[in-house]
Amino acid sequence: MAEALLNHLAGDRFKADSAGLEPGELNPYAIRAMAEMGIDISAKNTQSVFDLYLKGQLYNYVITVCDIKEEDKCPIFPGIAQSLQWSFPDPASFAGSDQEKLKRTVEVRDSIKKAIEDFIKPINKPNHHDTGGVSE
């Protein structure tokens, strides 16, 4: 969700990628929560942070988006100019009915959106271009 939101909100000022330690299937509630905003992530493939590292991908920012309770599973990118960690609950851990899981995922989506808006506000200038990385 963070990758899609940053790319959507920042336009061409950032190029966000998303990767994790254990890539898997996209969470169906994340797909639905993003679709509510008109953003389709259903065809997005997950990727490993190790693949990005091996490709020599360089970033000006790496924003780790994971639950602080799972800190040992949060990827680390050494040598990054700006590294931020945003703690949000993992929608995959939500219990309850279908409606409850979607509601909580939408809450996480909205929190991520707010964090991204706050992040890009000071650098959201017409001539500012950056390469950002988002790790989930």
CA distances from 8 to 2, 52, 83, 103, 113 (A): 10, 21, 21, 22, 10
> Looking at residue 32, what is its pLDDT?
98
Q: Which amino acid is at 20?
A: G
User: What does the pLDDT read at residue 72?
Assistant: 66
CATH class, 2-135 region:
alpha beta
Q: Closest Cα partner for 73 from 1, 27, 31, 22?
A: 22
The pLDDT tens digits of the residues spanning 74-87 come to 666 666 668 888 98
Give the domain ranges of the chain. Answer: 2-135
pLDDT digits (tens, 9 = 90+) for 101-123: 999 999 999 999 999 999 998 87
